[in-house]
Structure 1
Amino acid sequence: MMAQYLEIKEAHKDALLFYRMGDFYEMFFDDAVAAAEALDIALTKRGKHEGDDIPMCGVPVHAAEGYLLTLIRKGFRVAVCEQMESPAEAKKRGSKSVVKRDVVRLVTPGTLTEDALLEARRHNFLAAYMDIRGDAALAWSDISTGAFHVMPIKPARLGPELARLAPSELIVSEAVEHDLSEITSDLGVPVTALGRASFDSTNAEKRLCSLFSVGTLEAFAPFTRPEVSAMGALVDYLDITQKGKLPLLQPPAREFQDRVVQIDAATRRNLELTHALSGGRAGSLLSVMDRTVTAGGARLLEQRLSSPSRDLETVQRRLDAVTFCVENGSNTGQIREALRKVPDLDRALSRLSLGRGGPRDLAAIRNALTQAEAIADQTGAMDLPDLLTSAAKDLTGHGDLIDLLDASLIADPPLLARDGGFIATGYDGELDEARKLRDEGRSVIAGMQQEYIGATGIQSLKIKHNNVLGYFIETTATHAEKMMSPPLSDTFIHRQTTANQVRFTTVPLSEMETKILNAGGRALEIEKRLYETLSGAVLERAAQINTTARALAEFDLATALADLARGEDWCLPQVDSSRSFDIVGGRHPVVEYALRKQSGDSFVANDCTLTAEDGAAIWLLTGPNMAGKSTFLRQNALIALLAQMGSYVPADSAHIGLVSQIFSRVGASDDLARGRSTFMVEMVETAAILNQADDRALVILDEIGRGTATYDGLSIAWATLEHLHEVNQSRALFATHYHEMTALAGKLDGVENATVAVKEWEGEVIFLHEVRKGAADRSYGVQVAQLAGLPKSVVERARVVLDALEKGEREGGAAQKAIVDDLPLFSVSATPPPQPTKPSPLDAMIHDIHPDELTPKEALDLIYKLKEAAKT
């Protein structure tokens, strides 16, 4: 057995080997040590190898999925080695023969299909990248749904596209693995390197043609060599990991970079589109928006949010669909109720195609298709917009398959076919007979006994059973002659004579005995055969079922976005090909949601106008920290993104000319692993924006240059804004604490000053969160420091130093230097502590009040007394 283990392990050195032994998957040697630590399970030992104990650990087969998920999340790959025969079959070759075993599947992050291993509301993409002399392509697939896409890209765009797709695994050629390590490690994408043969375009084309049963790939699109290579490598990897049992992939859909809004990895992170900065889904835009009721709809929402469209017709079709659902709330409410009953059609179909499905997947397909027909009936009389009209047509045409599955399956079948009991009574006569024998064997024998009594006229005739003869017919010896004479002897065959009884059998009784003894196994075999037949019937219609799944997701997304728009008071944006950007009463959807949930406060809405038919349109935003500048920047980027994904937006009105790119430089963080300071990270991201942004880009920049010396930072921020204005000519929001830059509004056309309003009250600052035209007079940093809880002595000292510095700045450079030189280096003690204020009579009265002890009349009298005291 260990020799067999070592031979199989040799062929799968880079994976943990789950070696099936009865009801357990066992691991040995280094695999056992690594797995025991990762899974927190006991490490034992079994036997010896070259004189040393063999480490061993194991997990139960029935609970293997949970352990697999833990290992995959911790970066392991797992080779699942199954028993290919029973121990009884192995013994036929010899008493010491080892059960045949082989790896049936390699489990990797990008090749998961089981519900327990996947997030139902997210895609699980496996991607492959190929670069042929500067021409590159990226292919990706979700084998749990069958989705298959490819896109020609520039090598420099690999990082942003990986950030958009967030694949669970990336396949690359061994030749470029090292070159891409920086990109993949930044994004946290596991990489698998394959040999060059997997990426060979000639072999890849043959592989793809064979998979899709076509003579040429021209039937799908005129793919480039890098595209064919990337797709071929992906399919080859699936062939390797699935051991020749390829998933049911849809024909490859070709995408183009210029059809979606370009958003780089830093911007996605800063805007918290699908994940919050903390790393989880909670607090992201997706978490606030997601009102979908099906897994397919949730995956489509994430896809649209990650890839807003740049095609005006596509955007308008999506907005028309949402508008229809908004205006027809009662009808779409019925559609949503039907959608709630729709299981995950895509993943059920994928599991069936890979042989990992079960009766419950067949039931899921039946239930989903039934609800699809119901939705088609509901929408039949509606005047649907184009997008939903097309989707509604794809919901029907499954009547005969639904009837087949309805007739054959029980309402709630078990998970696994091997459990049996999932075929409905009355569907198959042979199965019903086997079940009757299995469940009602005694009554069947009793029926035969009455039949034989009637045929012989012997009332004492009995059918009995023992372990030697099995079932037999028994009469007393007085009836022996009658039973052994014609015509009864033609039917009843003599088996045994005892002192007082004579025993017989019949051909029907012998056959029935065999049937009863084998009924359980026979019933299970019949059900397995019927399961394969039903699975085959489903897979024959896989393409149509996939189309229906997409249609259901489209209805789910449109109705979910409509529900969101009605519930959150979002408006229909006007999207066109102009360069307008006019937002009235815009709000940040995530911040607004958080305020309402946590404190019940309302969000302060603000306008933003960045409209210029020619040249740049830039708002230079000043104001204190904590006033809401970053929120204002982000909310306008999110509104543009939401509009182009085809959603209503959180505003009173919005007019948005198509945006080609969204760039964000917000927040501060270092990258210690790569030796980058906070300022260096900021400069790298700013450089990417200035080198890539075009005149249709929307750029939001927050406090450029803050991480270095004041004049260095000011000069960089100044030059950056000038470049955006003169070269990029983008629409931009530029937040800064460098008030000197407000002078640019008078020098550059299209640059306007705006500020976030605050109010001072008795030395404290109150944030109004209102964005107004004009420039801030100062940053209120000391007041914000006071709010943060800095010691009073530090705050007072900061006020003194600030006053001195501002006085020096007004009087000129020499005066400023003299004032700064006069400031003692350590003068905390020199700053007089704030004088305690004398308590007023009003304070004393309030201090003595005990509200719980007041009667209503006393409370009213007290209010009058307090009012009088306040006058004095």
Structure 2
Amino acid sequence: MDEAKLSPMMRQYLESKKEVPDALLFYRIGDFYEMFFEDAIKASKALDLVLTGKDCGLEERAPMCGIPYHAADSYVSKLVSQGFKVAIGEQVEDPKLAKGLVKREIIRVITPGTQTEETALEEGKNNYLSAIYPGNSGIGLATVDISTGELYSLSVSDSKELLDEISRFSPKEILCPIGFLEDKELSSALDSRFSLSITEKEKEYFGKEEADKILSSHFSSSIPGLGLEHAPLERRALGACLRYLYDTQKNILSHIRHIERFHREDYMLLDLSTQRNLELWETLRDKKKRGSLLWVLDKTHTAMGSRMLRHFLERPLRERKKMEERLDCIEELCQRYIDGEELREYLDSIYDMERLIGKISISSANARDMLALKSSLQFLPVIKRTLSSFSGKLLQDLGQKMDALEEIYTRIDECIEEDPPLSIKEGGIIKSSFHEEVRLFREAGEHGKEWLNRLEEQEREKSGIKNLKIKYNRIFGYCFEISKSYQGEIPDYFIRRQTLAQAERYTTVELQDLQNKILGAAENLQQLEYSLFVNLREELSRELGRMQKTAKEIAFLDACLSLSKVAMQEQYVRPKINEKGNLTIVDGRHPVVEKLLQDQSFVPNDASLGKEEKIAIITGPNMAGKSTYMRQVALIVLMASIGSFVPAKQADIPICDRIFTRVGASDDLASGQSTFMVEMSEVSNILRNATENSLLILDEIGRGTSTFDGLSIAWAVVEYLAREIKAKTLFATHYHELSVLEGKLENVKNYCIAVSKEQGEIQFLRKIMPGGADESYGIDVAKLAGVPAPVLDRAREISSFLNEKDLRLQHLDFEEAPEEKFVEDFPEKSLKLGERGRKNFASALRKEEKEVLDCIRKDSFESMSPLEAINLLFSLKEKLR
């Protein structure tokens, strides 16, 4: 393209485009944002816009499309949701005052992780941007929400921990250095779930010196002062986050005031599999909030309260004192029902203060946002007084320390009109009583004609000239017009302006002042109101710290009120917290299933795991409720850890360091892993990372392979958990043979799901009972699922034959299975289940069976003719008989 032939405006456009080559450039021209060339082609397809052309000095017209500037937010959100970045090229000077080409600059770049428009954000969920920096000693992770000003950092040791932590945040965008792509497995796993932004500006974004410099400058503190002197990887990730925000927002981001560092040992660890399997904030099947634990617990009245409750679930506590303090808070709110309802009513008037504060910081707040903030502050004094009357530590501290921000409320109330327009440049946003000039300008605009009539009458009476009139002329403005017959009576303070054929025109100092007020009132008023509003916004930006602190306190209160409301409505009880490792639940219920059943009664169940009984082996048919039971135990432990009451009659809950779940599996086609490989990977992770203080939920271990291998693996896993890890474990299985372990291992106990079978029909009683199941009822479940009768009949015939002949386990006495011998250096060792399993079970085979197996191993079937193979097969069959 020959830029010399382009028009001046198109050359200006291309200069701006060079700043953002990877973004679609919205270029402000008059009342439209226009796009040109490749940007226009891409945007027209993505937004379904008409593609036109513009003469720009070249032989061919430049492709062009555009949108109205006032509707830009919805178009930007649509593009960003499709993976585009959008740059806003705005006019930065008044076209009326510009000499030549209007000056334009890129004022902002919008990406998935930097959106602040309300229409693009979920109220109860943060919009996070993360940055990753891998090093030899681990990986640094930083996460920021520009809409609320929250900034977090932590270090993890490997890619598995990184995936677990990122899944808690679920960022919309992740920044990575280009070298990160070398870890193809990790980068692929992240890119399949999130939006990766690989930057080639590695030194500029992730450099050590650059990161330290930007952190020290932004927070006005030294690196040791920020507590980051021993966290070099975190510093680089934090620096990348801030630099990226500076580059895209073109703003100082003064609302990002604090770094909250997470230490993994302070919180219960929930890996990605556990978060997904327990359906904490979305369901497995349709990814909806309804049907998740958050859906049950979230009765908040504010968006920031909903986000705070989500934070509770993301990071359950491990410190008993903090757990008890939250439980005290919930209990007192339940006891003081009237005060709780009053507080909830006050919260109804509170908008999303955190995001309003963010908009003030980045100078995007308008007058309506100010009114929303004022409404949010209205009841803070009475909330503060109400909380001060509570006796619990957390609530009382809130009441005593909460800043009611009364002077900020007063300032907004004095300044902003009650029904302002959306734009801050159209006037009508500042009260007349707030500023004298605003009052005068507004009066001039509203009462100008009345003032002119009054002055005309005043001068007519004063001069005695009865036909004196005030007229308007585009050149001379307002003038007194007097016919020539009164020329001898003209007052000496009248100033001649124009001579007409039959009259003369005059002005006075008073008329000139009035003219200036009237003619310049509208434009001057708009400029003055805009200036006053910007001053107010800057004034409030100096109070961001105070407002953010109060917003966090309101969010915490809202989350606690939500938990107390659920506790009262659903008849939850306060759990006891113990550090002895004992888990006791009486009449526990699954919080989500119970809620979804509505009028149907949920069958409660007990649970007991402690020092004497660490592992519960649970048998029973599919659909009988094993998975529901195990999940409900895990959810009750989790709820207690966030300080919530729990769905049970009684509960004594231990402090757990982790909850692991291995519930169901599916093929991971992206990484080429089968269902069984995924299952074994999860089992491996559990066996290598679980401790005595962990809670394990294991469902159908070994189901993805042959019965022989599956049973061997399941058996070995139970033995290892019982003898080595000694974690509290719920182990559901279809392998009834494992029930013999109750006698072999002292801390293993059998349970089963009660089933009633009458006249060939089964009924699931949903009750957990001591003992093992006598059969699997698989065919009965198949019947319930609608499998055709001929298939069911044939299945019963085959089942009867197999049970009679017991082809797999004939002559095998599980009571005599050899004792497990463990290698001392686990987790580095391998279980070698296949080899050991073959030896264990081979020792129980008959002589004839061993001979058949040896023959199969030695003979080369590939060289046999079909007839030879058939004869060999017949002879082997006869030997077995």
Partner of 2:307: 299
Q: For residues 495 and 3 of structure 1, what CA distance do their matches in structure 2 show?
A: 48
Structure 1 stretch 541-550 or stretch 60-69: which is displaced more? 60-69
Q: For residues 244 and 304 of structure 2, what CA distance do their matches in structure 1 show?
A: 25
Q: For residues 291 and 733 of structure 2, what CA distance do their matches in structure 1 show?
A: 26
Partner of 1:603: 602
Q: Contact 1:209–1:217 at 8 Å: present in 2 too?
A: no
Q: For residues 517 and 643 of structure 2, what CA distance do their matches in structure 1 show?
A: 63
Q: For residues 66 and 729 of structure 2, what CA distance do their matches in structure 1 show?
A: 58
Distance 1:794 1:210, change over 3 A: same
* CA offsets 1:372-415 (integer angstroms, 9 cap, x no match): 222113334x1331112222234335222221111112234333
Which amino acid in structure 1 is aligned with residue 462 of structure 2? A
Distance 1:242 1:495, change over 3 A: same
Q: For residues 215 and 518 of structure 1, what CA distance do their matches in structure 2 show?
A: 52
Q: Helix, strand or coil for the counterpart of 1:755?
A: strand
Structure 1 stretch 772-781 or stretch 444-453: which is displaced more? 444-453
Q: Contact 2:404–2:550 at 8 Å: present in 1 too?
A: no
Partner of 1:449: 456
Q: Helix, strand or coil for the counterpart of 1:732?
A: strand
- Offset of residue 624 of structure 1: 0.4
Q: Contact 1:18–1:79 at 8 Å: present in 2 too?
A: yes
Matched, 1:99 2:102: yes
Q: Contact 1:20–1:83 at 8 Å: present in 2 too?
A: yes
Structure 1 stretch 761-770 or stretch 6-15: which is displaced more? 6-15
Partner of 1:845: none
Q: For residues 109 and 390 of structure 2, what CA distance do their matches in structure 1 show?
A: 49
Q: For residues 808 and 263 of structure 2, what CA distance do their matches in structure 1 show?
A: 59
Q: Determine which of 570, 591, 600 is the counterpart of 2:572.
A: 570
- Offset of residue 810 of structure 1: 9.0
- Offset of residue 253 of structure 1: 1.9
Q: Which runs of 5+ in 1 are unaligned?
A: 819-872
* CA offsets 1:691-724 (integer angstroms, 9 cap, x no match): 1111111110110111110011111111111222
Q: Contact 2:403–2:546 at 8 Å: present in 1 too?
A: no
Q: Helix, strand or coil for the counterpart of 1:619?
A: strand
Matched, 1:284 2:271: no
Q: For residues 495 and 224 of structure 1, what CA distance do their matches in structure 2 show?
A: 78
Q: Determine which of 209, 230, 233 is the counterpart of 2:240.
A: 233
Q: For residues 189 and 641 of structure 1, what CA distance do their matches in structure 2 show?
A: 30
Q: Contact 2:228–2:235 at 8 Å: present in 1 too?
A: no
Which amino acid in structure 1 is aligned with residue 496 of structure 2? H
Q: Contact 1:392–1:551 at 8 Å: present in 2 too?
A: no
Which amino acid in structure 1 is aligned with residue 604 of structure 2? A
Matched, 1:142 2:137: no
Partner of 2:429: 422
* CA offsets 1:20-46 (integer angstroms, 9 cap, x no match): 222222223332332223223333344
Partner of 2:190: 184
Q: Determine which of 207, 211, 217 is the counterpart of 1:204.
A: 211
Q: Determine which of 153, 156, 160 is the counterpart of 1:153.
A: 156
- Offset of residue 602 of structure 1: 1.4
Q: For residues 390 and 165 of structure 2, what CA distance do their matches in structure 1 show?
A: 38
Partner of 2:169: 165
Q: For residues 215 and 507 of structure 1, what CA distance do their matches in structure 2 show?
A: 62
Partner of 1:741: 738
Q: Contact 2:387–2:395 at 8 Å: present in 1 too?
A: no
Partner of 2:30: 22
Matched, 1:626 2:623: yes
Distance 1:469 1:89, change over 3 A: closer
Q: Determine which of 801, 806, 811 is the counterpart of 1:804.
A: 801
Which amino acid in structure 1 is aligned with residue 297 of structure 2? M
Q: Which runs of 5+ in 2 are unaligned?
A: 1-8, 813-844, 849-881
Structure 1 stretch 467-476 or stretch 437-446: which is displaced more? 467-476
> Aligned residue pairs: how many?
802
Distance 1:54 1:500, change over 3 A: closer
- Offset of residue 743 of structure 1: 0.7
Partner of 1:860: none
Partner of 1:679: 676
Q: Helix, strand or coil for the counterpart of 1:334?
A: helix
Matched, 1:131 2:131: no
Which amino acid in structure 2 is aligned with residue 271 of structure 1? L
Distance 1:529 1:624, change over 3 A: same
Which amino acid in structure 1 is aligned with residue 385 of structure 2? D
Q: Contact 1:465–1:472 at 8 Å: present in 2 too?
A: yes
Q: For residues 226 and 475 of structure 2, what CA distance do their matches in structure 1 show?
A: 68
Structure 1 stretch 191-200 or stretch 330-339: which is displaced more? 191-200
Q: Determine which of 728, 750, 761 is the counterpart of 1:731.
A: 728
Partner of 1:112: 115
Matched, 1:332 2:349: no
Q: Helix, strand or coil for the counterpart of 1:633?
A: helix
Distance 1:49 1:437, change over 3 A: closer
Q: For residues 423 and 337 of structure 1, what CA distance do their matches in structure 2 show?
A: 30
Q: Contact 2:142–2:238 at 8 Å: present in 1 too?
A: yes
Distance 1:222 1:101, change over 3 A: same
Distance 1:811 1:282, change over 3 A: closer
Q: For residues 399 and 814 of structure 1, what CA distance do their matches in structure 2 show?
A: 84
Matched, 1:70 2:78: yes
Partner of 1:5: 13
Partner of 1:405: 412
Distance 1:27 1:767, change over 3 A: same
- Offset of residue 508 of structure 1: 1.9
Q: TM-score, normalised by structure 1?
A: 0.89
Structure 1 stretch 637-646 or stretch 178-187: which is displaced more? 178-187
Q: Determine which of 456, 473, 477 is the counterpart of 1:466.
A: 473
- Offset of residue 503 of structure 1: 2.4
- Offset of residue 653 of structure 1: 1.4
Q: Helix, strand or coil for the counterpart of 1:520?
A: helix
Q: Contact 2:363–2:537 at 8 Å: present in 1 too?
A: no
Matched, 1:514 2:521: no
Q: Contact 1:221–1:254 at 8 Å: present in 2 too?
A: no
Partner of 1:668: 665
Q: Contact 1:320–1:385 at 8 Å: present in 2 too?
A: yes
- Offset of residue 125 of structure 1: 1.3
Q: Contact 1:394–1:551 at 8 Å: present in 2 too?
A: no
Q: Helix, strand or coil for the counterpart of 2:806?
A: helix
- Offset of residue 137 of structure 1: 2.2
1:690-705 mapped onto 2 (5 Å cutoff): 690-705=687-702
1:496-575 mapped onto 2 (5 Å cutoff): 496-575=498-577
Q: Helix, strand or coil for the counterpart of 1:612?
A: coil
Q: For residues 188 and 807 of structure 2, what CA distance do their matches in structure 1 show?
A: 49
Distance 1:666 1:812, change over 3 A: closer
Partner of 2:821: none
Structure 1 stretch 446-455 or stretch 742-751: which is displaced more? 446-455
Q: For residues 810 and 505 of structure 1, what CA distance do their matches in structure 2 show?
A: 119
Matched, 1:779 2:786: no
Distance 1:440 1:134, change over 3 A: same
Q: For residues 455 and 424 of structure 2, what CA distance do their matches in structure 1 show?
A: 33
Q: Contact 1:169–1:192 at 8 Å: present in 2 too?
A: no
Structure 1 stretch 245-254 or stretch 41-50: which is displaced more? 41-50
Q: For residues 662 and 748 of structure 2, what CA distance do their matches in structure 1 show?
A: 19
Which amino acid in structure 1 is aligned with residue 552 of structure 2? R
Identical amino acids, percent of aligned pairs: 38
* CA offsets 1:227-253 (integer angstroms, 9 cap, x no match): 222211111111111124435202212
- Offset of residue 567 of structure 1: 0.7
Q: Helix, strand or coil for the counterpart of 1:70?
A: helix
Q: Helix, strand or coil for the counterpart of 2:472?
A: strand
RMSD value, Cα: 2.2
Q: Helix, strand or coil for the counterpart of 1:177?
A: helix
Partner of 1:826: none
Structure 1 stretch 403-412 or stretch 473-482: which is displaced more? 473-482
- Offset of residue 795 of structure 1: 1.1
